[in-house]
Structure 1
């Protein structure tokens, strides 16, 4: 600690927790021995159609764009980025002009720029929870004091709270919950913020994958206290090329363009971004229209399947990701995420979002066949967990029987048992899944798709005399799994 405190930086930076971004696919591949090409990343919420360069109707040729820009890499870019700003204004529409546009190296740089230019140490900012963590990180770097109203409190924030705040951050649609505020709601909020001289920062990084009609980008023309951010990363599925832009009043945009880092867009990023924004149709291009339709249709199907998982409470589908409350599920977000990762499926563990704890995950909406793999993997995790629990329970039963002998478990949550005369020695069948229909068990259709083995019609191991014989076999010295096989052969096979 003493060595750290000798570092010549502002003291409040010493206790900042670093944010982890990127590298998860490579890390998962190395940890579990899964080829990177086989890993499905549901933690990253990009356009499920892929980039426009992979879309046949976009008219964009990636190789040609790169080839044309290579000839300019020996020159400094024009730091005004006139073509990019013109393309961005045309893409947004709504009367936005190039004078309103502030180019940025992705959304994080834009947040940093705005916060650097507005916040002084000790200023209060409002960051509704839960939401994108970079607002907090960039404000903490500048020494701001942060308050965390809930998302539900935003429309009814007291005047005195707004009066004291320098910035109010709104993500629309919100990340990670997917909540979409209407244009009218944000217009009313913008008027209140203007009256209290509180800057309303509206993050529209996902608006083009949701409902562009709810954008408030045009409010910046007449309101110095509205700032809107757009990102190309999400809508165009190009996270490796950092591009985005801010939209502000001409006066505000002029100051921010002066203050931003020179040449914050490299030549290649500038060329790619300009080409994407100039795509025919802009925000209403065939590519983005089809993207929104796919997200709505596949999102609803995915939500319906996730809703069938016991313990999942699934949020609304307004954008290309779904927020899931798993507080009623058997595993917390960390354990579920880890077990899915071992199967090559990455989901967003929301534990590091403000105030959420380990009760939430976020999953991206991807193409249908990939969504099916997510559902199947969740089913495998549930089965795996059930078997682990059964094994632990069996060991407990054996130990208790050795001390007390066989008997119905009055401490069992299902006591008295499911049917008359049932013995509750085995809450979990030691033979599950036996897959032998002579027991009365059978394959049934799973709510998550595919089939699952059901023991509903098998009562054999709940009969006292059979339970006793099984226990007699299991209580011998030796490996439990081998003893289970012996018990099946000696006890169950003769009965069947």
Structure 2
């Protein structure tokens, strides 16, 4: 990282509610965890008396099977954000430019700036259409799929075509798939091109955000560089053991995807009675509250015991909130807090 940029840098806001008395819809994490997580964590505790195996063969094998790539291409990291930083540290130098989507995850621009580089903002739904003239002037391009906070995912064929243009321009493509596991869409890890680095997070899909487990996927010299730069013992033993356990819980993943899809559509139908709601492939919905005051909408929800995300902190959004998609009971509490109270109006019970 660039020392001067660190001194002048700032942190960015995130979801996540510290008040345990509030139902937290500001962070997009699964309210459920796979069976056996507690046992896997307990078994890892005694093993934590030794340093981890820095090769992480079991974790890498589970991660590779999950996204459909060879295990040699997997680089273990302490969460998806650690994978993003690792990729940017390996590519960006002071004075470089990086294509950054907006509105999207605020950490992209922050991490670019920490390297002494400059973010060049492009609308998230226009970024993969950028041509060679722009790409040739940028060392890095960032894509988020599904995009946070809008929720829409990118077709893999379109993403692969963009990756090929990045390869021609010698531009690294960083694909953040933090929420892709909530869908059945294939990972960009299957696009085996050297400029592509995929960042994955385990902790959202498996409901363990405090565990800090994730990984990057890369190929060729890009993979070698990331593997060399990766911090030694980049995953603690509990994170590696629990992460591998979760990645192999196929039935849990299928159940989660089905529940999220059903509840997301039910919630969208209800919320559209009050707000403009963006289509989404993700475990969250972005709502434009129109001429209502965002802070009042948030305060009223908190008074009803529910925390929602102030989405005006995302670039170019000024009348928006974001809400997570959880299970049926919790989602009904959210709808009530936002003024959608009649269960008959929001559809029949479908969540098993």
What residue in structure 2 maps to residue 44 of structure 1? 27
CA distance in 1, matches of 2:17, 2:343: 29
CA distance in 1, matches of 2:17, 2:29: 15
Decide which of 129, 134, 158 is 2:102's aligned counterpart. Answer: 129
CA distance in 2, matches of 1:76, 1:450: 52
What residue in structure 2 maps to residue 367 of structure 1? 327
Decide which of 297, 303, 311 is 2:262's aligned counterpart. Answer: 297
Question: What SS is found at the alignment partner of 2:323?
Answer: strand
Residue 60 of structure 2 corresponds to residue 85 of structure 1: yes
Decide which of 276, 281, 292 is 1:330's aligned counterpart. Answer: 292
Following superposition, the deviation at residue 448 of structure 1 comes to: 4.5
What residue in structure 2 maps to residue 481 of structure 1? none
Following superposition, the deviation at residue 12 of structure 1 comes to: 3.0
The correspondence of residues 46-85 of structure 1 with structure 2, limited to 5 A, is: 46-48=29-31, 50-53=32-35, 61-85=36-60
CA distance in 1, matches of 2:130, 2:52: 44
Question: What SS is found at the alignment partner of 2:199?
Answer: strand
CA distance in 2, matches of 1:120, 1:154: 22
Following superposition, the deviation at residue 369 of structure 1 comes to: 2.1
What residue in structure 1 maps to residue 348 of structure 2? none
Question: What SS is found at the alignment partner of 1:169?
Answer: strand
What residue in structure 1 maps to residue 304 of structure 2? 343
CA distance in 1, matches of 2:120, 2:39: 48
Do the aligned partners of 1:230 and 1:245 also contact (CA within 8 Å) in 2?
Answer: yes
TM-score (norm 1): 0.66
CA distance in 1, matches of 2:292, 2:42: 53
Following superposition, the deviation at residue 258 of structure 1 comes to: 1.4
Following superposition, the deviation at residue 90 of structure 1 comes to: 1.6
Residue 188 of structure 2 corresponds to residue 216 of structure 1: yes
Do the aligned partners of 1:77 and 1:266 also contact (CA within 8 Å) in 2?
Answer: yes
Do the aligned partners of residues 25 and 119 (structure 1) sit closer, same or farther apart at CA in structure 2, a change above 3 Å counting?
A: same
Do the aligned partners of residues 156 and 66 (structure 1) sit closer, same or farther apart at CA in structure 2, a change above 3 Å counting?
A: closer
CA distance in 1, matches of 2:191, 2:63: 16
Following superposition, the deviation at residue 22 of structure 1 comes to: 6.7
Following superposition, the deviation at residue 21 of structure 1 comes to: 4.8
Higher relative contact order (Cα pairs below 8 Å, separated by 6+ residues): 2
Structure 2 portions without partners, runs of 5+: 345-352
What residue in structure 2 maps to residue 308 of structure 1? 273
